[in-house]
Amino acid sequence: MVGQDSEFRKLQVTGGSTIIVSLPKEWVKSNDLKKGDVVSLEELASGDLRLSPLQGPAMKQVVSLDCCTYETGLIDLMIGAYLSGADVIKVSCDGEISRKTRANVRDFLRDTRGMEIEHDDDKEIRIVSILNPSELKLQVSINRMYILISSLVGDALAVVEGEDVDLLSDIEDRERQIDARRLLLERQVAASLQMPSVEKRLAVDRFTAMEHANIARVLERMGDHATRLASLVREHSTVIKIGADDMPLKAIPKWSKELKTIVHNMYTRDVGLIHSAKLELAKLRDDVESAESDIWTGRGSAERLLCEFRISESVRRLCAYSVNFAEALLNMLMHDKLEKFES
């Protein structure tokens, strides 16, 4: 689609073989360019070219936060700076930095990836990025989130089937890892939208990058329900009376199989298998929901009935979000199949 502000210029041949195109005068003036200056050309993943004035040494993006002013919401602001692509986050104070602020910084470092403290004194903490956003493929974080979610659900099912509850001793740590991977992926996507060099190295265009971000958010929601399911099993394992062959636990192996199919086909790109898995998951979601009414007809304590209903709800939502995952992946694959032709 051609924008309203687009200009059209003819390609010209000079010197018998060199093809050139003139630049808009206003663009040249606004960037203070003159004859003999050098500009850079970058090919984007979409095949388009981006023309930019030649820049000097790469400039670092810095966010400065006064922890005396923002002490209440400091960690949220640090996360926002991280997602926006800040290379350096400075946390400073006119007086001495409080223990609460230092605890917030530790939480931030625990909940993110690729950030380290470069400088730390009484009045300033300087956090820097040590991870190049283009070094790690987006699919790596997607795979890691999937593995963590599957392990949480699988271990919860194993405990219900008789395994030791210690299998679920690190639920909170696994949840933090899922959230951290989502944040890292969104930071990479933001970098790819801002820098053509990152976009090219990650081998994604803008649409594909945004769909990866959508998938990461879906997986984070799945992680929330996997965590909730595992926590319910850990805390109420002695009162849960659902058998592994009964709904909703009966749905978990099927959910796991179809989700694995979807994740695997992020690489093999078999649209038919992804769509089939989506339909199976949608049916499974409906089957779990249909069986939920039976929970309240059984006999048992209020604690048991409520716990079993919440387990069912989490399994149902895992299926529903897996359907969303499949839809986002289908959108991405269809975008890759777009072909340009002259109308």
| pTM over the 0.75 mark | yes
pLDDT score for 1: 45
- Indicate the residue type of 176: R
* Phi-psi map region of 191: left, alpha, beta (phi>0 left; psi -120 to 50 alpha): alpha
- Residue from 109, 143, 129 nearest 60 by CA: 129
Beta bridge partners of 53: 39
Contacts of 326 (CB under 8 A, 6+ apart): 262, 274, 275, 277, 278, 281
Tokens of 183: 């944040």
- Residue from 76, 72, 52, 53 nearest 63 by CA: 76
pLDDT score for 300: 60
| Cα 43 from chain centre | 25
Segments of the chain with pLDDT less than 50: 1-3
pLDDT score for 24: 85
pLDDT by residue (tens digit) across 162-185? 999 999 999 999 999 999 999 999
Beta bridge partners of 13: 19
pLDDT score for 339: 54
DSSP string, 45-65: TTS-EEEEEPP-SPPPPEEEE
- How far is Cα 83 from Cα 188, in angstroms, rounded to an integer? 8
**C-alpha dihedral (189, 74, 228, 287), degrees to nearest 10:** -50
- Residue from 189, 173, 277 nearest 231 by CA: 173
pLDDT score for 26: 84
Contacts of 90 (CB under 8 A, 6+ apart): 62, 63, 64, 65, 124, 125, 126, 127
CA distances (Å), origin 160, targets 22, 58, 172, 236, 244: 70, 54, 19, 10, 8
Contacts of 318 (CB under 8 A, 6+ apart): 153, 222, 225, 226, 229, 255
Q: How many CA atoms lie within 13 A of 187 on its CB side?
A: 27
Provide the H-helix boundaries in the chain: 25-30, 74-84, 99-111, 138-160, 171-194, 196-202, 206-236, 251-268, 271-295, 302-336
- Residue whose token pair is 């093999």: 268
- How far is Cα 92 from Cα 69, in angstroms, rounded to an integer? 10
